[in-house]
Amino acid sequence: MPMKGWYKEWFSSPYYHLLYNNRNDNEALDFIKKLIAHVQPAPGSKMLDVACGRGRHSKILAEMGFDVTGIDISGDSIEVAKESEDEHLHFYQHDMRQPSWINYFDFAFNFFTSFGYFRTRREHDAAFRTIAQSLNANGTFVIDYLNVHYTEDHLVKIENKKIEDTIFHISRWQDTDHFFKQIQIEQNGHLLKHLYTEKVAKFSLGDFTDMLAYQGMQVQEVFGDYQLGHYDVRKSPRMIITATKAKK
């Protein structure tokens, strides 16, 4: 399937990485450590990082002693990630909607709302099918997504971020089914011609439960923040779901 959609150009843009690579590394590290302590993988477990970007989180998992494979649709991101490869850390350019490994991984992860980008429910179902098929009979999948209801109530409509010599002018809005974020870039006092618009589906816990069940995965736990706190449909900023592959 050819790479289409708003993410095609945006994920390969140096401005995407400039905007998002300033996310708090310590917060990400603390979250992954808490998550791993909770799910308790066996030493050397095989892990799949879906939509891994440049491999920041894959590297954390590999440093913890696991055998990690990262996949991402962006060839530019994978090219950077491959610079960190070793015998326990590998990266591949791959569209999550397309089949890959079968019954291979012990765990699969999708971190920091790296889902909900596709045009149709069928495409999202295809992505979950790929993930479910990649897991072994006892495999666990963890997806970290925004909490739709909290985001609706706390949407920041206008925001300006200055990073180095670049200013990002960000506008946010929503409709019934999606959140939108438009990004205008100003550099050295000049607005660039390119406008980037992100579009993320408003998937609820019920939506995820149905999509996962359709692919033979059963929701086990839901957390509401990166400290793995209780999920509250209105008060929790995140929706972190753990699901296991149903035994046949």
Backbone angles phi, psi at 153, to 5 degrees: -80, -20
Report which secondary-structure segment, H or E, holds 126: helix 121-134
pLDDT bracket for residue 3 (50, 70, 90): very low
Give the residues across from 185 on adjacent strands: 168
pLDDT bracket for residue 11 (50, 70, 90): confident
**The whole model's pTM is what?**
0.92
In whole angstroms, give the CA distance from residue 141 to residue 218. 10
pLDDT of residue 195: 84
Amino acid residing at 172: R
Kindly report, as residue ranges, where domains of CATH 3.40.50.150 are found in the chain: 7-147+204-245
pLDDT of residue 146: 97
pLDDT in tens, 39-57: 999 999 999 999 999 999 9
CA count, 13 A, side-chain hemisphere, 157 = 3
In whole angstroms, give the CA distance from residue 54 to residue 48. 14
pLDDT of residue 13: 83
Mean pLDDT of 131-144: 97
Cα separations (Å) of 161 from 95, 109, 182, 186?
A: 30, 29, 13, 10
Residue 231, token pair as written in the block: 């999920």
Burial letters for 20-38: b for 16+ Cβ neighbours within 10 Å, e otherwise? eeeeeeeebeebbeebbee
In whole angstroms, give the CA distance from residue 182 to residue 147. 20
pLDDT in tens, 173-198: 999 999 999 999 998 888 987 789 99
Name the least confident of 23-37, 87-101, 141-155.
23-37
The fold adopted by the segment(s) 7-147+204-245 is Rossmann fold (3.40.50)
The rounded percent of the chain whose pLDDT value lies above 90 is 79
* Model confidence at 2: pLDDT above 50: no
Closest to 60 (Cα-Cα) out of 134, 112, 130, 115: 112
Cα separations (Å) of 52 from 20, 44, 68, 128, 198?
A: 13, 19, 11, 16, 18
